[in-house]
Structure 1
Amino acid sequence: FYFDMNPDSLRKMVEPHVGPFDVSTLSRACVLNVTYPSSDLFLVIKLEKVLQGDINECAEPYMKDEKNLDKVRVNAVQCCERLGKYRMPFAWTAIYLMNVVSGVNSLERDSCSDKESTGSNSLDRKSSMSNFEQLRKRASDMGSLTRRGSLERRTSADKRYSWSPEDLTSSLDTFRPVTLTVTSFFKQESDKLRDEDLYKFLQDLKRPCSVLKKLKSIPGVLKLDISPFSEDVKGCLTPELEPLIPVSDFDTLSGSEGKSRPIKEILEFPAKEVLLPHFFYRNLLYVYPKELNFTGRTGSARNIAVKVQLMCGEEDHHALPVIFGKSSCPEYCPEAYSTVSYHNKCPNFYDEVKMSLPANLTDQHHLLFTFYHISCQRKLEQNTVETPVGYTWLPLFQDNRLQAGEFILPVMMDHPPPNYSYITPDVLLPGIKWVDNHKGIFTVHVEAVTSVHTQDIYLDHFLNLCATLEQGRIPQR
């Protein structure tokens, strides 16, 4: 879930790069469904900013009293004008949700009245298949609580590190809406972008640990309203951006503060498989670039961005506008860019690219990954900001089956030749320059959530045989 808290005046600084916004991308509220409640649930918030340079240097104005603020503002305007299309990791924080669910009675009450607190907007709602049905009964019993931020979140309730199923159920039964106030964020370390690095930090959040004290803190305020689901919430959108009843009219939404905004349902990836029939059409693809190793590539390739496109052919105009926009941007885009790690030839990525798959896939549909070096510093002899430094691709529909899973792909130095989409990059084409002698250097994970294409290999084989027999063709043994 992506949200933009910047006012209109700041968003306009990057509007030439991202285009006009659609109403669905202005959401600041979401619906999260948890099928299997766990004592290890965290809410992770990541902050990004317009690409500027080294994370340490960019964070300095936020971490201390800056005397020359005019210089900082001028620099920000220049970066938005030139690099507003690109993002960089900046900061993060996490909230241990068991403290939210179980620590209501141990927290200090906010000074605002119950009448005032009932007017707050709900950021959490569940779908009808959730195991949190009992929480809905308490949606009208609103309270308002506050907690301290990232580095000072320790309370007496935190001393308990494990929860039995009975404790968890009891806490959920007594859970009431709560407002959390985060007052600081951890500065993002450029070499700690992997999910595995985040998991280690999350475990440290559950108990006193000196590791977190070593992380630098950036002051900032973020208020989160967390509450059970309420049936009468209006303006909800499904993961496919389809409106749910009761429907709200957002035609007059201008993006100004105080206006009504849509609420997005976030698709759940449960820890264990949920076996349920498909009641509606769903055909989504999630693409996760993971890591790239460009140490074997000569030339300037350090500030690397990955452009992801879903192609139905091999020309530029074959890029399909099926990528969901993130925040304050068009609803659908033909391309998505990863964050950029400054001066790093082996970057890790945490980006998620969500796509709406075409109903009818062909052999030419493929994911095209283009790697760019982004010039953060303006040079007189250089007119372009991005320079292509590599290409690779992933055919999506092979042997009549949608491809998903983790892939380690080689990277081509020049643009792929004609008819490349019919083969995989594992084929060593003659006369083509490959980075690091055709070794697999780019890791990407692809997750499909679809009612059209089965992900079970045995069921897929059975359906293909049925289709073959319907067409009057006898399959070969």
Structure 2
Amino acid sequence: MQADKCRTSCRGVRKELVIESPTQRKNAAQGEVEAESPVPVQAKPKLIEPLDYENVIVQKKTQILNDCLREMLLFPYDDFQTAILRRQGRYRCSTVPAHAQEEAQSLFVTECIKTYNSDWHLVNYKYEDYSGEFRQLPNKVAKLDKLPVHVYEVDEEVDKDEDAASLGSQKGGITKHGWLYKGNMNSAISVTMRSFKRRFFHLIQLSDGSYNLNFYKDEKISKEPKGSIFLDSCVGVVQNNKVRRFAFELKMQDKSSYLLAADSEMEMEEWITTLNKILQLSFEAAMQEKRNGDSHEDDEQSKLEGSGSGLDSYLPELVKSTREAEIKLKSESRVKLFYLDPDAQKLDFSSAEPEVKPFEEKFGKRILVKCNDLSFNLQCCIAENEEGPTTNVEPFFVTLSLFDIKDNRKISADFHVDLNHFSVRQMLATTSLALMNGGRQSSPALQDILHEAAMQYPKQGIFSVTCPHPDIFLVARIEKVLQGSITHGAEPYMKSSDSSKVAQKVLKNAKQVCQRLGQYRMPFAWAARTLFKDTSGSLDKNARFSALYKQDSNKLSNDDMLKLLADFRKPEKMAKLPVILGNLDITIDNVSSDFSNYVNSSYIPMKQFETCTKTPVTFEVEEFVPCIAKHTQPYTIYNNHLYVYPKYLKYDSQKSFAKARNIAICVEFKDSDEEDSQPLKTWWACVHKKRLCCSFTPSPKPGIL
């Protein structure tokens, strides 16, 4: 039986030998040897949990309290102190709706609402100075950054009178020090209250008699100063209270200036008096030096004529300069020798923990857009008695937004503008004013501040761009009241002959349509312009809007608009688009730091808001910030905006209507699935409804084709 088994196994081996190659046979032999040898099992590394400091303190409480070195392990009980920092905002009232916290049904929602209204709690650590590196521990004796200069007998000058004279020149003069606020007048941005930084200033006199105004981050003047103002280049010190109280300005010879501010008027006057006194002394010294220079030239000329050899007079000066160079070399060598001491090599931990500041609202490059006029070549007097101005024959509505063709996306919300004349607005059916804000009355405080007359027809908007570059466009989309196809509605505006008869015909049709379909819109035209010259955010103020191009009914989406803007700088492509005869006048400008009378995207007024009804109100337009890490910022204000964009409607599969057109899409929000539930009142971005008190509707409707 064993022989049969052996014979069978040999036959199996013989078959395998016929099939395998020599290389495979060798690898198989090695595999058999490895299989027979024992394989060492690698032990997994033992996971060690980190030490729980608090648990150790609790477990060994008795042992630690009896230890004479317990102060090195236990934290002081008075280590930290808490202080309340009042929340500072730029709004006149809270951005959270009234009674929102009381009506919140979830604890999570309640806590989230508190983050927008509650004050900041600031934690100050009393013994924070002891938590750093051992060479940075506080010491009663002031530590100097540089080693003291040691004077030896071999270094002493033979002529002590010269040393005394030079030492006296350094110790004399005017000195002053104190805290001031420094503003940068030479930066690319304008000086504001935020740009002032508190610095410790120290006025010193140098060995040559000139003065320097050094400034430090703290009162440790032994450190290297953060900067210096050379007063020998200063031409005047004047008071300047334009940006900040108790401020004064140092004017330099190169037309630049330094803006400083004191804490009180008395300190400001003391600094101005001291600095002007130094400038007066410097001026007198310069005049005296000039007079001495003239007499010195005469003396040198007489010495050269009367001296037989100039070498004898030159030798003492040469010996003196050689002596000074030797002393300097010795001093520097000794200082470098002491640098070998590790305690002398101090580490800088000033930037390890930044200064704690509350979160602030972040903005990009802010642009003020002013909408002035929209006029077409087809105009007439729309009054029945033909007494009145010549205006457009029907109402038009402009929607402004920003597009970025580099990132291929829309980067701002829509800003709706109504530039129609008062008589043209009367053609639309009047709508009732609903004093509803999501089902309840608006805040009484806002009703007293925001008047409907000033908010009804906005013409100024503030856009913000976080990443400015030349490929960002300001796009204006123009709509009109629904009346047929786009081609039929735009045809009268594309002809230039016999405009009076055509205008009357269009006017008659527009009056009828506005009464029946005044709440429905249709696309009509579009125009665009560039915003920036470069990536630094310089506005291209000389650019103007392009011609008004007829809106293509097959290219209405944002993606279609991005494709059109990609060819905007190609004249051969833009020349093929049909043009509507008209002009859109819109200007752009930078937003100044003292700009007032504007509201944010949620219609919350700023602190500088004026309650006058005649002053135009400017609206902030919300930016769609790119979702990347470097532009991510915490939310500091309550903002509850939901943007809904209907993309398309597939209506090909229905068979009820052979030729269906003028399909209106109605967007509703409901808080339940019941059949009798009423739609919630939500904001809808229609121009004729963009008012403070009538900006909410239960059934919004977009444009129709």
The TM-score normalised by the length of structure 2 is: 0.35
- Match of 2:567, SS? helix
Q: For residues 204 and 88 of structure 1, do their structure 2 counterparts lie closer, same or farther at Cα, with a shift above 3 Å needed?
A: same
- Match in the other structure for 1:407: none
- Match in the other structure for 2:516: 82
- Match in the other structure for 1:281: 638
Cα distance in 1 between the residues matched to 2:651 and 2:426: 35
- Match in the other structure for 2:535: 168
Deviations 1:243-275 (A, max 9, x none): 11211225x4xxxxxx53211111111233332
Q: For residues 88 and 303 of structure 1, do their structure 2 counterparts lie closer, same or farther at Cα, with a shift above 3 Å needed?
A: same
Letter in 1 for 2:423: S
Cα distance in 1 between the residues matched to 2:582 and 2:554: 23
- Asked if the contact 1:323–1:335 (Cα under 8 Å) also holds between the matched residues in 2, the reply is no
Q: For residues 304 and 19 of structure 1, do their structure 2 counterparts lie closer, same or farther at Cα, with a shift above 3 Å needed?
A: farther
- Match in the other structure for 1:52: 483
Letter in 2 for 1:261: P
Q: Report the alpha carbon displacement of residue 281 of structure 1 after superposing the two structures with TM.
A: 1.3
Cα distance in 2 between the residues matched to 1:315 and 1:22: 39
- Asked if the contact 2:597–2:606 (Cα under 8 Å) also holds between the matched residues in 1, the reply is yes
- Match of residue 302, structure 1, among 661, 664, 672: 661
- Match of 1:88, SS? strand
* 1:92 matches 2:456: no
- Match in the other structure for 2:87: none
Structure having greater relative contact order (Cα 8 Å, sep ≥ 6): 1
Cα distance in 2 between the residues matched to 1:324 and 1:213: 35
* 1:2 matches 2:416: yes
- Asked if the contact 2:529–2:543 (Cα under 8 Å) also holds between the matched residues in 1, the reply is no
Cα distance in 1 between the residues matched to 2:610 and 2:484: 42
- Match of residue 206, structure 1, among 543, 548, 569: 569
Q: For residues 292 and 186 of structure 1, do their structure 2 counterparts lie closer, same or farther at Cα, with a shift above 3 Å needed?
A: same
Q: How many residues align?
A: 262
- Asked if the contact 1:43–1:95 (Cα under 8 Å) also holds between the matched residues in 2, the reply is yes
- Match of residue 263, structure 1, among 607, 614, 618: 618
* 1:71 matches 2:505: yes
Alignment of 1:180-195 (within 5 A): 181-182=544-545, 184-195=547-558
- Asked if the contact 1:180–1:224 (Cα under 8 Å) also holds between the matched residues in 2, the reply is no
Alignment of 1:221-236 (within 5 A): 221-236=583-598
Deviations 1:405-452 (A, max 9, x none): xxxxxxxxxxxxxxxxxxxxxxxxxxxxxxxxxxxxxxxxxxxxxxxx
Cα distance in 2 between the residues matched to 1:33 and 1:60: 37
Cα distance in 2 between the residues matched to 1:70 and 1:324: 33
Q: Report the alpha carbon displacement of residue 183 of structure 1 after superposing the two structures with TM.
A: 6.6
Deviations 1:264-307 (A, max 9, x none): 11111123333211212122111111001101112333211111
Letter in 2 for 1:54: S
Q: Report the alpha carbon displacement of residue 180 of structure 1 after superposing the two structures with TM.
A: 5.4
Normalized per residue, the structure richer in helix is 2
Q: Report the alpha carbon displacement of residue 216 of structure 1 after superposing the two structures with TM.
A: 0.7
Range with greater deviation from structure 2 (12-21 or 292-301): 12-21
Letter in 1 for 2:618: I
Deviations 1:4-59 (A, max 9, x none): 10011111221435768764341111111111123320111000000000111111
Q: Report the alpha carbon displacement of residue 86 of structure 1 after superposing the two structures with TM.
A: 0.4
What is the root-mean-square deviation in Å for CA atoms of aligned residues?
Answer: 2.3
Alignment of 1:391-410 (within 5 A): none
* 1:43 matches 2:474: yes
Cα distance in 1 between the residues matched to 2:677 and 2:543: 46
Q: For residues 242 and 317 of structure 1, do their structure 2 counterparts lie closer, same or farther at Cα, with a shift above 3 Å needed?
A: farther
Q: For residues 29 and 18 of structure 1, do their structure 2 counterparts lie closer, same or farther at Cα, with a shift above 3 Å needed?
A: farther
- Match of 2:606, SS? coil
Q: Percent identity?
A: 35
Letter in 2 for 1:327: V
- Asked if the contact 1:25–1:331 (Cα under 8 Å) also holds between the matched residues in 2, the reply is no
Q: Report the alpha carbon displacement of residue 62 of structure 1 after superposing the two structures with TM.
A: 1.1
- Asked if the contact 1:179–1:224 (Cα under 8 Å) also holds between the matched residues in 2, the reply is no
Letter in 2 for 1:225: T
* 1:332 matches 2:689: no
Cα distance in 2 between the residues matched to 1:200 and 1:18: 40
- Asked if the contact 1:182–1:220 (Cα under 8 Å) also holds between the matched residues in 2, the reply is no
Letter in 2 for 1:61: P
Q: For residues 337 and 18 of structure 1, do their structure 2 counterparts lie closer, same or farther at Cα, with a shift above 3 Å needed?
A: farther
- Match of 2:577, SS? coil
Q: For residues 244 and 282 of structure 1, do their structure 2 counterparts lie closer, same or farther at Cα, with a shift above 3 Å needed?
A: same
- Asked if the contact 2:492–2:502 (Cα under 8 Å) also holds between the matched residues in 1, the reply is no
- Asked if the contact 1:24–1:331 (Cα under 8 Å) also holds between the matched residues in 2, the reply is no
- Asked if the contact 2:482–2:513 (Cα under 8 Å) also holds between the matched residues in 1, the reply is yes
Cα distance in 1 between the residues matched to 2:595 and 2:429: 31
Q: For residues 94 and 229 of structure 1, do their structure 2 counterparts lie closer, same or farther at Cα, with a shift above 3 Å needed?
A: same
Q: Report the alpha carbon displacement of residue 181 of structure 1 after superposing the two structures with TM.
A: 4.6
- Asked if the contact 2:428–2:515 (Cα under 8 Å) also holds between the matched residues in 1, the reply is yes
- Match of 1:226, SS? strand
Cα distance in 2 between the residues matched to 1:43 and 1:293: 31
Q: Report the alpha carbon displacement of residue 327 of structure 1 after superposing the two structures with TM.
A: 2.6
- Asked if the contact 1:25–1:326 (Cα under 8 Å) also holds between the matched residues in 2, the reply is no
Q: Report the alpha carbon displacement of residue 195 of structure 1 after superposing the two structures with TM.
A: 1.9
- Match in the other structure for 1:394: none
Q: Report the alpha carbon displacement of residue 324 of structure 1 after superposing the two structures with TM.
A: 4.2
- Match in the other structure for 2:464: 33
- Match of 2:646, SS? strand
Cα distance in 1 between the residues matched to 2:676 and 2:551: 35
Letter in 2 for 1:184: A
Cα distance in 1 between the residues matched to 2:456 and 2:670: 23
Cα distance in 2 between the residues matched to 1:94 and 1:54: 23
Q: For residues 245 and 15 of structure 1, do their structure 2 counterparts lie closer, same or farther at Cα, with a shift above 3 Å needed?
A: farther
Q: Report the alpha carbon displacement of residue 184 of structure 1 after superposing the two structures with TM.
A: 2.9
Q: For residues 328 and 194 of structure 1, do their structure 2 counterparts lie closer, same or farther at Cα, with a shift above 3 Å needed?
A: closer
* 1:24 matches 2:438: no
- Match in the other structure for 2:174: none
Q: Report the alpha carbon displacement of residue 202 of structure 1 after superposing the two structures with TM.
A: 0.4
Letter in 2 for 1:40: D
Normalized per residue, the structure richer in strand is 1
Letter in 1 for 2:426: K
Q: For residues 54 and 325 of structure 1, do their structure 2 counterparts lie closer, same or farther at Cα, with a shift above 3 Å needed?
A: closer
- Match of 1:305, SS? coil
- Match in the other structure for 1:320: 680
Cα distance in 2 between the residues matched to 1:186 and 1:33: 26
- Match of 2:559, SS? helix
Letter in 2 for 1:237: V
Letter in 1 for 2:621: I
Cα distance in 2 between the residues matched to 1:338 and 1:76: 20
Cα distance in 2 between the residues matched to 1:91 and 1:220: 10
Letter in 1 for 2:620: E
Cα distance in 2 between the residues matched to 1:316 and 1:18: 24
